[in-house]
Structure 1
Amino acid sequence: MNELIRQAQMMQKKMLRTQEEIGKKEVETSVGGGMVTVKATCSGEILSVVIDPAVLEDVEMLQDMVLAAVNEALKKGKDMMQGEMAQITGGMKIPGLF
């Protein structure tokens, strides 16, 4: 029983360390053929938004592209985080982990 508890504690420490490390990794995505590019961390922090000046004339389209790029960057980061954590947990779904 003690061995099982020790293993669970080691897995927990490894998961926390991995979450921290992955959270610092950056992902980048662009939409509209590169007209809007968003860079974010895997923990969900938006680092930069780059907009091609050619798209500034159509504000509605620009808003849609920024929204799409931000959502895609956040999805990429979340997917990367989940993939890394699945490697640690062996695919087990642990509620509240991520």
Structure 2
Amino acid sequence: MGRQNFGGFGGGANMQQLMRQAQKMQQQMQEAQERLDEAEYEATAGGGMVSVKVSGKRELTAITIDPQVVDPDDIEMLQDLVMAAVNEALRKGEEARETAMNRMAPGMGGLF
């Protein structure tokens, strides 16, 4: 009687190779995640009047506001500038995360 081919994997040697590849990919994904979490993204609004930094963990780490943009009669504008800068920095972080994961996806053999 012939050797059974479970799920097209062949024999035990092929299964071991598949497991090693899966472990390697898992390690690479973990390392990529750590690098992304440690990264910092910066964005500005109002021509640089408001500057923010966010971490790869999506935490606001710094805000710089030029005193010229602080107008007690127009607090709404300052709020809008801060919100725009924060959202842009977060968008940059998400874009970097997507790019990194998409780079790894081809090696996943269609798992994504």
After TM superposition, the score normalised by the length of structure 1 is 0.86
CA offsets 1:34-69 (integer angstroms, 9 cap, x no match) = 011011112212110111111110210010111111
Q: Which runs of 5+ in 2 are unaligned?
A: 1-14
Kindly report the root-mean-square deviation, in angstroms, between the aligned alpha carbons of the 2 structures: 1.7
* Selected match of 1:37 from 12, 31, 51: 51
Match of 1:69 among 78, 85, 90: 85
What is the TM-score normalised by the length of structure 2?
A: 0.76
- Structure with max Cα Rg: 2
Matching residue of 2:9: none
Structure 1 residue 93: deviation in Å?
6.9
| More off after superposition, 81-90 vs 47-56 | 81-90
Q: Which residue of 2 aligns with 1:10?
A: 24
2:102 partner amino acid? A
Instruction: Give the letter for the 2:81 counterpart.
Output: M
- Between the two proteins, what is the percent identity of the paired residues? 46
Partners of 1:30 and 1:38 within 8 A in 2: yes
Query: Aligned residue for 2:6?
Result: none
Deviation at 1:5, TM superposition (A): 2.1
Which sections of structure 1, spanning at least 5 residues, go unmatched?
none
Where do 4+ consecutive residues of structure 1 move more than 3 Å? 91-94
